[in-house]
Structure 1
Amino acid sequence: MSRLEISSEPVTLPLPAGPGVEKTLPPALEQVLFGECDTIFAVLDAGRIDGLRERLAALGVAHHSLFSERMTEEAGDSAPWLVAFDAKNPLLYRMLCDVEGDHAGVHGVLRRGAGILLRSELEIAVLRQHLRRFMRVKDAHERNFFFRFWEPEAAAVYFRTVAERSETVVRWMCPHGAPAGIDAFFFPVWLDGPELLCAVPVDLPDPPPPPRGRFALTEEEVEAFGALQWRRDRQALAERLAQTFPHKAKAAGDDLRPIVHETVDACVGAGFWRRDMLFTFCAWALHFGVDFIARDPKGEVARLMALPLSVEERFELITERMDTLERDHFALPGSLG
C-alpha cells in the first residue's frame, strides 16, 4: 500500500538575510531539497508577494500560472505560479528568509506562508496540468471548493491527514500517463516557529492505476482545515496582543499563547465566537490574570457569562462589570490603558 512519510527536516530556518550575507543555500538544505535533481519547483502565491510576476520575468526562470489563460489575464497578480528553480536562484533563497517588517516583499515569504516546494523530474508544463486537477474539488456533500494546496500550513495538515490513504497518495504523486512522478513535497511552515516539513511517497505502484472519478475532499479532510484555521486564529490573537500590549506580552513571555488558548476555550464554550470579543477577553486575561472570571469577588462575571441572553447583550454587561472592577483596582497588576 502506498503512503507518505512526513518528517521535519533537520535544517535551520529562516535563512540569514541582510547586507553582506551570501545568498547561497547551506549544503545540507540544498541536499534535502534537490537530492540528485538540478531543478526543483515552487508553487508561489502572487497575492502574498508583491510584484511576483515581474520578479519571475526579470529572473528569466520558467514559470506558469496554475490559473487558466483567461483567469491569469484577469487575476494573475493573485494567482498561484508554478516556478522552476535551480539551487543558485536568489528568489529561492529569499523565500526561506524572514525579515521583520517585510510584509509584502520577497524576504518575508517564510512567515507569510506564500508557497510550497516540490521535487520532480517532470517537465513544467506536464506538472502544471497535473496540479491544476486539484484546484477545484468537491467534498462528500458535493459542495465545490477552491483548494489552495500551495498554502504550506494547509498542505501540511492535508497531507498528514491523507498520508495512509493509498489511492489519494498515488493520485497526487503519480500523474496519470506521465513518465515520472513527484518525488517529494516540502512545506516551509511557521506556526509555533519555523519548520521545513517533507512528504515523501513510499511503495508507489509501477505503473500506477488510472485515477477514478473527480478528485474530492473527505469530511475528515475538510474538518482538518477547520482545525487549522482555528489554530491560526489563536495565533493571530496572540500576535495582536503582543502588538497592542507589548510590555504585558513581554512579561508574559512563553505563557502568552497558553493564556490565549485557555481564555479562548472558556469563552467559546460560553458561546463567544466573535474575534473582537475574544480579543477583549484575552486582553483582560493578560492584564487581570487568566483566571479573572473566577476571581471576581462577587462572581458577577461568571454569572453574566451564563445568562440566557444574546452574546452581544452578555458581552456588554461583562464589559461594564470589568470596567467597574478596573476602577476598583481589582487584583490589577497593570492598567488596560
Structure 2
Amino acid sequence: MTADTIPVTHIVSHILLEGILPLEPLFPAPEEGNWLMPETLERALFGSADTATACFVILDSGQIPNLPELLEQSGLKYRCLFSGQTGETLAENSPWLVQLVSGARFTRDLFTASDAVWHLWGAQRCIIVRSSQDFHAIWKHFRRLTRIEDAQGKTFYFRFWEAPYFRAALMQGSATEAGQLVPQVSQTLLPRADGLETIEVAPQPKSRGIFVLSAALKKVFGEVALQVFYARLEKRHCEVGNMTRSEFTQHLSGALHAGFRDRDVLEALLDWCAEYDQPVFGQPWAEASLAATAGLQDISRMGNLKRASRRQKAKELAEASP
C-alpha cells in the first residue's frame, strides 16, 4: 500500500492499494453468497465492522456487452442513470448504478480477469463509491451529473463514470467542483491496471444546482480526452493488433511531430502505418510531402502522403527491375 502526494487541500486521503487485482476465477464455483474476495479488497469496498458503508459502482453498457442482462441475473439492486427518450436513444452507451454486496457473484466477477464474458476486469472504465446514503439518494445524485454546463451556459452530457475524467475532477478541480461530484461522506475507488486507487474528499456544502464546469477544468478534461484517445489507439494496435509498443510510439510521435491533430485523421494514419511494410515518418519522401503540404488540412496532407508513398514504392520497384 502506497500513499500518493496529496496535491490539494480538499483531498483527505489518496491511496493506491497494490497487488490485489485482478482476481482469478474460483473453481469450483461456490454457492451464491459465498463469492468472497481477499480481505484487503473486501475492507476497501465495504469497510470494517465499525466503518461499514454501502458500496456502489457505475458501469457503462457501451463497455460491457449485455450489461443489462448480466445485472438482471445478478440479484443486485441496479438502475440506469438515463431514462425516457435519452435512455432509449443511448441505450447501448448508458451508465448503470449498481449496489454491490459482499459475497455476491457479480461483485467478485467485477474484479476477476479471464476470457469469460462475465468476468469484467479490464472490460470497463468504472467508478466505485462508498457512502452512508441509500441507493435512491446515490442514484438521484449521479443522475444530476449526467448533464452539466460550462461557464457560457452550454449544456452537454458528462461521462463522469469514466475514471480518468472523475479522477481529474477530484484531483485537479476546485474544492467546490470536487464536492459536487461525490456524495457527502463518501470515498471514491477507481480500478486501474496496478491496483485500486482510493480518494476521499473533505465534505463540501451540498449543491442542488447543475454542475458548472470551470474553464480551467474544461481544459483539463480536454487533455484527459486526448490521453484517453491515445490509450484507445495503443490498445487497438498493440493488444488487438500486431504493433509493438515501440512501433506504436514511433508512428504516433511521427504523426504528432508532423503536425497532425485531427483525431479521425490520426486514427486513419495509424491504421495505414499498421498496414505499411516499413516506417513512414522520417523518410525523405515523407518529409518532402509533409513540407509541401504544411498549412493544409490534415485530411489533405494525409492523402498527399499516401500518394507520395505509392510513387516511392513505384520508384523502388523500377530501380529493382533488371
Corresponding residue SS for 1:9: strand
Relative distance call for 1:312 and 1:39 in structure 2 (3 A) is closer
Matched, 1:172 2:181: yes
Relative distance call for 1:21 and 1:158 in structure 2 (3 A) is farther
Contact preservation (8 Å) 1:52, 1:77: no
Equivalent in the alignment of 2:229: 233
Q: What TM-score results when the alignment is normalised by the length of structure 1?
A: 0.74
Alpha-carbon deviations, 1:192-217, whole Å to 9, x = none?
x4542221124x3xxx5442743211
Equivalent in the alignment of 1:80: 95
> In 2, distance between residues paired with 1:197 and 1:106?
23
What displacement does 1:276 show? 4.3
Contact preservation (8 Å) 1:6, 1:160: no
Matched, 1:255 2:246: yes
Q: Which is worse superposed, 112-121 or 66-75?
A: 66-75
Compute the RMSD of aligned alpha carbons.
3.4
1:264 aligns with one of 255, 270, 289 = 255
2:270 aligns with one of 256, 279, 291 = 279
Structure 1, gaps ≥5 residues long: 175-180, 331-337
Counterpart of 1:196, as a letter, is L
Contact preservation (8 Å) 1:139, 1:218: yes
Contact preservation (8 Å) 2:252, 2:270: no
Contact preservation (8 Å) 2:233, 2:267: no
Relative distance call for 1:257 and 1:231 in structure 2 (3 A) is farther
Alpha-carbon deviations, 1:123-148, whole Å to 9, x = none?
11122222222221111111102112
Corresponding residue SS for 2:196: strand
Matched, 1:146 2:133: no
Relative distance call for 1:245 and 1:115 in structure 2 (3 A) is closer
Contact preservation (8 Å) 2:76, 2:100: yes
Structure 2, gaps ≥5 residues long: 1-8, 318-322
Aligned residues: 301
What displacement does 1:220 show? 2.2
Equivalent in the alignment of 2:23: 15
Task: List aligned pairs for 1:48-63, cutoff 5 A.
Answer: 48-63=63-78
Task: List aligned pairs for 1:1-337, cutoff 5 A.
Answer: 2-17=10-25, 20=28, 23-36=35-48, 37=52, 39-68=54-83, 78-100=93-115, 105-107=117-119, 109-162=120-173, 165-174=174-183, 181-189=184-192, 193-202=193-202, 204=203, 209-211=205-207, 213-242=209-238, 246=242, 249=243, 252=244, 254-267=245-258, 269-270=259-260, 273=263, 274-280=265-271, 282-283=273-274, 287-289=277-279, 292-296=280-284, 300-306=288-294, 309-326=296-313
